[in-house]
Copies of this chain bind each other. A is one copy, B any other.
């Protein structure tokens, strides 16, 4: 049996017309970075943790000798709009665990007063893109049409949204509220703050709030500089190789001559 343990960190009052934001680990960690940024910008407070026997069977060792447990964490934000943000260092391992946890997360959100769900994620496109698009899919035609007007695109690939980002939409709908997934284009093989920033910019338009994304822009720039340095390093290596080959050939010619 999949067991989910709730561990309350702090008592909080239910929100009024809150939104539930999901940013669990996924492709490019787009959702996770976005959700963490919201918590930092708006001073989110952790009030609940979930443990589950379908998480990876391990603890994580930190350099200070202490350990982190595998878990999902709930944060509350009161201003500029009431939000509950879900983060974590893992999703469930098995399909069944993913269903049960997504159901539990939506149920907790509703218990604490949310009436709409936004799941944040990446949409893997296999390459870097100067200006990544953000896709939207959701349980309400009206809602996704409005979000399209704010700049989102619709996916036509016929694919799915896997894990909590998809299943939380289903359990929102089955509980009578709407759910929407925002997916930022991302290479898939990199942690991607640029895509996370694009997703947050769209979310802030939807929620009609201001989110300062300077920190994400800074991280995105650092990432790009890092990628540039790698590219430069590779080019230098190739040049040196070519010069070496060229010198060796001259040596050979001299020898022959």
Contacts and interface: CB of A to CB of B under 8 A. Distances in A.
Interface of A: 1-3, 5, 7, 51, 53-67, 69, 93, 95-96, 98-100, 102-103, 136-141, 144-145, 147-148, 154-163, 166-167, 169-170, 173-174, 181
B61 A159 contact: yes
Contacts of A95: 53-57, 93
Instruction: Please state the number of chain copies in the assembly.
Output: 4
28 contacts: A53-B100, A54-B95, A54-B96, A55-B99, A56-B160, A57-B95, A57-B163, A57-B166, A58-B161, A58-B163, A59-B166, A59-B169, A60-B159, A60-B160, A61-B137, A61-B157, A61-B158, A61-B161, A65-B136, A65-B145, A66-B138, A66-B141, A66-B144, A67-B166, A67-B169, A67-B170, A67-B181, A69-B170
Contacts of A136: 65
A95 to B, nearest CB: 4
Nearest to A144: B65
A63 B169 contact: no
Given A2-B96, A53-B96, A170-B69, A58 B160 contact: yes
Name the 6 nearest CB pairs between A and B, nearest first: A53-B99, A65-B144, A58-B160, A57-B98, A59-B166, A57-B95
Contacts of A154: 63-65
Contacts of A99: 3, 53, 55, 57
